[in-house]
Amino acid sequence: MRVELLENAERRRCWSFDDKARIVEASYEAGVSVCSVARRHGIAQGLLFTWRRQAREGRLGGDAQAPVLVPVAIAPEPSRPVPAAQSDDPRAPAPPRRLRRKSGVIEIDLGGGRRLTVDRDVDAGALRRVLDALEGR
């Protein structure tokens, strides 16, 4: 058995917009195959086809702006509740109400919009069987 250690593995190359555009343009020349252009530049054919599609759609990356960090300030919560704005418009949504929860009720969010509500006195074994069934075990 042969074991080969790879050190200093080459990282992905970052192609500039000009390089991508030049390679895509070369792939459209008459009598040239996409395979030969990709091989000549050391890229996968699939990557070249992706660049060609992006160029057709105008998304190859020439005009894209680099991401920018935006400063954010987090304001402290007010110490007392702020009253909701009053509106005479009957179509205006009602202000949200705080729901009172029964003491001893446990809500389990199962994801996918599913929620299981059980009483605090639920049998742990029965709950485990229900949860296992819901998870398909």
> How confident is the model over 1-51, as pLDDT tens digits?
666 655 655 667 888 889 999 999 999 999 999 999 999 999 999 999 999
Q: Are residues 120 and 104 in contact, defined by beta-carbon separation less than 8 angstroms? A: yes
Q: For residues 79 and 93, is the Cβ–Cβ distance under 8 A?
A: no
* Dist CA 19 CA 24 (whole Å): 9
What backbone torsions phi and psi does residue 118 show, to the nearest 5 degrees?
A: -130, 155
Work out the average pLDDT over 119-127.
84
Please answer whether residues 20 and 61 qualify as being in contact, where contact means their C-beta atoms are separated by less than 8 angstroms. yes
Residue 117 in tokens: 């509500």
Does residue 79 surpass a pLDDT of 80? Answer: no
In the predicted structure, residue 126 carries a pLDDT above the cut 90: no
**Residue 47: partners with Cβ closer than 8 Å, 6 or more residues away:** 38
What is the distance between the alpha carbons of residues 72 and 91, in angstroms, rounded to a whole number? Answer: 34
Q: In this structure, are residues 34 and 40 in contact, taking their beta carbons and an 8 Å threshold?
A: no
- Those residues whose C-beta lies under 8 Å from the C-beta of residue 106, and which sit 6 or more positions away, are 117, 118, 119, 120, 122
